[in-house]
Amino acid sequence: MPRFHSLRLALLLALSLGQALAGTSQDVPPPLVPCVALSFDDGPDTTLTPRLLDILAREGVHATFFVVGKRLAYSPGLVRRAFLEGHEIGNHTYDHRRLTDLPDDEVVAEIELTDEAIIAETGHRPDRIRPPWGQIDARVETALRKAGLWRKITPWNLDSLDWLDDDASITELLTSAAPPGSVILMHDVHASTIEAVPSIIRNLKARGFHFSTISGLETCRGGKPQGLTVATTLAGRIPTDASKSLAQALREFKPFEDYIIHRFGS
Residues annotated as part of the active site: 41, 187
The DSSP bridge partners found for residue 37 are 183, 212
> Which among 215, 221, 177 is positioned nearest to 89, based on CA atoms?
215
Cβ neighbors of 155 (< 8 A, separation 6 or more) are 23, 24, 25, 26, 130, 134, 183
| Measured CA distances, 242 to 29, 34, 97, 214, 247 (Å) | 7, 9, 34, 18, 13
Sign for the CA dihedral angle at 226, 42, 152, 17 comes to: positive
- Span between the terminal Cα atoms of the chain, in Å: 5
Q: CA gyration radius for the chain?
A: 18
Q: Do 91 and 129 form a contact (C-beta atoms < 8 A)?
A: yes
49 vs 142: CA distance, rounded Å: 34
Quote the longest CA-to-CA distance of the chain: 57
CA atoms within 13 A on the CB side of 255: 4
Dihedral (C-alpha) 210, 128, 27, 8: value to the nearest 10 degrees?
80
203 vs 176: CA distance, rounded Å: 6
